Chains A and B, each alone.
Chain A
Amino acid sequence: MATATAVRVSAPAPAGAPRKKRYGGLTPWLFAIPALAVYATFLVYPALTSLFFSFTNWDGLSPGYDIVGVDNYVKMTQDPVVRQALLNNLIWTVVTIVVPVIIGLALATLLNGKVRGKTALRLLFYTPCVLPLVSIASIWGWLYNPDSGVINEVLRTVGLGNLAQPWLGQDSTALWAVMVPAVWLRTGFPMLLYLAALQGIPDELYEAATVDGATKSQQFWHITMPSLRPAHYIVLALSLIDSFKVFDMIYAMTYGGPGTATQVMGTWMYANVFQYYQAGYGTAIAVVITVIAVAVSIPYVLSQTKEHT
């Protein structure tokens, strides 16, 4: 940066004088404005408009509506489905972060050992991550089919036929059944990141530890885990951001049902806007989950903004 400034000023600045911070005038804006305009038009402006709608009783169809203040937010506190949806969001977030991270770390540790065909194996484990969520939902809906699905068939084949059940069709199992494909889909990502991070740990550390008589498990806890700290941070931050936004998988597998067993804030918002014609109430639900998601993610966003400045 210092070099850049030195070249741009026409006369050398007097030694010791504070250098004025200079901006590049109009040109930088010509580069920035197209993307910023699209971003503002289709993301920022709609999000703020939703915030406004959340204070109205708009049905989503009629031309008119009244401003009802915080009524929608008060209504949410009394809505048992919202309570369930928030709980489901919480369960979803915890499970779809913790389980993939643990499996991903285990796979990465194993794949980092003396294994042949690492590239192919890595490819297989990561494959679910690139499939459309709707196709993953279709695949698992098909596997879960109570009569002809593979999962019940496997249970019958191994003599556990009495455990066969309509996994997606009953309250007690539906949420967990929808989380299984989510875990399947999300494991490849931490695996890749941990693998990359593991390869960055110098072998000498382990050699020295072995010489000092450290066991494998001591090496894992005292060398591997601390060295993975940056990877943990990234995996957790990004998983958190993603898990909060859950919609596709649940919508495509259960539409939030049976009953309200798998409702999350996203699907309950969708149902209110597009099925019950309560756009005002629906957007209030969206606002709440957005505020939570943004608040939780601010440390990550700040860390990315501060990088290199």
Chain B
Amino acid sequence: MSASGLAAAAALPDAVVAGQDPLARGPRPRGGIVLTIVIAVVALFWISPLLLLVTTGLRPLSDFVANGPLSWPSELTWQNFRDAWAIGKFDDTYRNSAFLLVVKVPLGVLLSAMLAFALSKLKIRFRRTIMFAVFLGLTIPIYITIVPVFIMLRSAGLTDNVLGLIGPYLAFGIPLEVLILQSFFRQIPDSIVESARIDGASEWRIFFTIVIPLSAPALITVAILDAVATWNEFLFALIILSSDTNKTIPVGLLSFQGQFSNNNTGLAAGILIAVVPILIAYALLQRWIVGGLTAGAEKG
């Protein structure tokens, strides 16, 4: 399961105002201390794998071996992270993943927004057919496309190159992005678009100066969901990228894992290096992620 699949929730009809946290409203609850404690304990248990990862990554291997994984570290060290960074070639994998993010996400959002605009605000022929064909893409498993995509990229000389991933990543991002954006664009009143048309604005001008600015919350939500999916994608990257210097973080982590099977602290540090940026990004952007996922869920 992928973040993108989950995110398809944002496809809910009548997305209210994406980005606005629909769960944050209501009066502040009072009391309920017992319930709060119970849930907090469950929550700590729930994320205990991550907590254990932190305590393990920060201790020397000898301490881990001597006292077991559950003990509190008797000594703290950054050495595991230094070792893991170098052995895991995180210089390269971070650069490659970041490059994909910067190129693919804005491009994907722009292309999807254009198609969504055509489907929601312009009179395009075969509209229902196009929507059906595009939304069907949500259900297509990536692995039915990998053999032909691999052949295409090989003949274009784009295997073992992150550039080769851009096309397939765009294609698999489009269904969800279009689904969310067209449902959002629909809520922009036709009267605004019509009055701009009467004033002589071209469709391009309407798109860039009216629709895009009015849809900033939806565009940001879609961009974040797409960024998470891009950062986490595994199968295409596994097949297309072969040399260590060209790998993305998920693929790099897999080979790293193999080399560290007996070094528990180093492995923990390496996994943390791979996940900490996304955890920080999530903590900062969670309002948008949650908004995108739950927009419209209140509709009865």
Q: Which residues of B contact A124 (CB under 8 A)?
A: 43-44, 46-47
Nearest CB in chain B: distance from A56 CB, A: 11
Q: Is the interface of A mostly helix, strand, loop or mixed?
A: helix
Q: Which residues of B contact A309 (CB under 8 A)?
A: 127-128
Residues of chain B from 19 to 39 with CB closer than 8 A to chain A in the complex: 22-26, 29-33, 35-36, 38-39
Give Cα A294 to B128, complex, Å: 18
Interface residue A90 (Cβ < 8 Å from any Cβ of B):
no
Q: Please choose the segment from A75-83, A165-173, A193-201, A207-215 that sits at the chain B interface, where 4 or more of its residues have CB less than 8 A away.
A: A193-201
Q: Which residues of B contact A243 (CB under 8 A)?
A: 1
Interface residue A262 (Cβ < 8 Å from any Cβ of B):
no
Assess the B32–A241 pair: CB atoms within 8 A: no
Interface residue A161 (Cβ < 8 Å from any Cβ of B):
no
- Cross-interface CB contact of B147 among A34, A128, A282, cutoff 8 Å: A282
Assess the A36–B115 pair: CB atoms within 8 A: yes
Give Cα A1 to B115, complex, Å: 19
Q: Which residues of A contact B207 (CB under 8 A)?
A: 31
Give Cα A29 to B14, complex, Å: 25
Q: Which residues of B contact A28 (CB under 8 A)?
A: 118, 122-125, 203
Q: Which residues of A contact B183 (CB under 8 A)?
A: 307-308
Q: Which residues of B contact A305 (CB under 8 A)?
A: 128, 131-132, 135
Nearest CB in chain A: distance from B106 CB, A: 14
- Cross-interface CB contact of A148 among B31, B69, B125, B298, cutoff 8 Å: B69
Q: Which residues of B contact A193 (CB under 8 A)?
A: 9, 293-294, 297
Residues of chain A from 129 to 167 with CB closer than 8 A to chain B in the complex: 129-135, 138-143, 145, 148-150, 153-154, 157
- Cross-interface CB contact of B5 among A145, A241, A289, cutoff 8 Å: A241
Q: Which residues of B contact A184 (CB under 8 A)?
A: 46, 49
Q: Which residues of B contact A195 (CB under 8 A)?
A: 23, 294
Q: Which residues of B contact A128 (CB under 8 A)?
A: 46-47
Give Cα A226 to B128, complex, Å: 31
Give Cα A129 to B278, complex, Å: 11
Nearest CB in chain A: distance from B265 CB, A: 10
Assess the A47–B145 pair: CB atoms within 8 A: yes
Q: Please choose the segment from B72-80, B186-194, B214-222 that sits at the chain A interface, where 4 or more of its residues have CB less than 8 A away.
A: B186-194
Give Cα A305 to B33, complex, Å: 46
- Cross-interface CB contact of B1 among A145, A150, A153, A242, cutoff 8 Å: A242
Residues of chain A from 169 to 196 with CB closer than 8 A to chain B in the complex: 182, 184-186, 189, 192-196
Q: Which residues of A contact B117 (CB under 8 A)?
A: 31
Give Cα A85 to B31, complex, Å: 50
Q: Which residues of B contact A107 (CB under 8 A)?
A: 39, 42
Interface residue A57 (Cβ < 8 Å from any Cβ of B):
no
Known: A32-B115, A192-B294. A115 touches B36 (CB 8 A): yes
Nearest CB in chain A: distance from B124 CB, A: 4
Interface residue B201 (Cβ < 8 Å from any Cβ of A):
no
Known: A43-B137, A124-B47, A287-B144. A241 touches B171 (CB 8 A): no
Q: Is the interface of B mostly helix, strand, loop or mixed?
A: helix
Interface residue B246 (Cβ < 8 Å from any Cβ of A):
no
Assess the B132–A115 pair: CB atoms within 8 A: no
Assess the B70–A50 pair: CB atoms within 8 A: no
Q: Which residues of B contact A247 (CB under 8 A)?
A: 141-143, 235
Give Cα A231 to B293, complex, Å: 12
Q: How many residues of B contact A (CB 8 A)?
A: 124
Known: A126-B290, A290-B140. A141 touches B257 (CB 8 A): yes
Interface residue B102 (Cβ < 8 Å from any Cβ of A):
no
The 0/1 profile, CB within 8 Å of A marked 1, for residues 267-300 of chain B is 1100100110011001100100110011001111
Assess the B142–A245 pair: CB atoms within 8 A: yes
Which chain A residues have a beta carbon within 8 Å of chain B's beta carbons? 1, 3-4, 7, 22-24, 27-29, 31-32, 34-36, 38-39, 41-47, 49-50, 53, 60, 96, 107, 110-111, 113-119, 121-135, 138-143, 145, 148-150, 153-154, 157, 182, 184-186, 189, 192-197, 199-201, 227, 230-231, 234-235, 238, 241-249, 251-252, 266, 269-270, 273-274, 279, 282-283, 286-287, 289-290, 293-294, 296-297, 300-302, 304-305, 307-309
18 additional A-B pairs beyond A35-B178, A46-B144, A235-B9, beta carbons within 8 Å, are A4-B194, A27-B122, A31-B114, A34-B114, A35-B174, A39-B174, A42-B168, A42-B170, A122-B23, A133-B250, A138-B267, A185-B1, A200-B298, A241-B139, A249-B1, A266-B143, A269-B143, A294-B140
Q: Which 9 A-B pairs have the closest CB atoms?
A: A114-B32, A200-B298, A42-B171, A196-B294, A46-B148, A46-B145, A242-B5, A28-B124, A196-B297
27 contacts between A and B (CB under 8 A): A4-B194, A7-B198, A28-B203, A29-B124, A32-B114, A35-B112, A36-B130, A38-B171, A38-B174, A39-B171, A43-B174, A44-B133, A49-B148, A119-B24, A127-B50, A132-B234, A133-B1, A133-B2, A134-B232, A135-B275, A138-B253, A150-B49, A199-B298, A227-B300, A245-B142, A283-B144, A305-B131
Which chain B residues have a beta carbon within 8 Å of chain A's beta carbons? 1-3, 5-6, 8-9, 11-13, 22-26, 29-33, 35-36, 38-40, 42-44, 46-47, 49-50, 52-53, 64-65, 68-70, 111-112, 114-115, 117-119, 122-125, 127-128, 130-149, 152, 167-168, 170-172, 174-175, 178-179, 183, 186, 190-191, 193-194, 197-198, 203, 207, 228, 231-232, 234-235, 238-239, 249-251, 253-254, 257, 264, 267-268, 271, 274-275, 278-279, 282-283, 286, 289-290, 293-294, 297-300
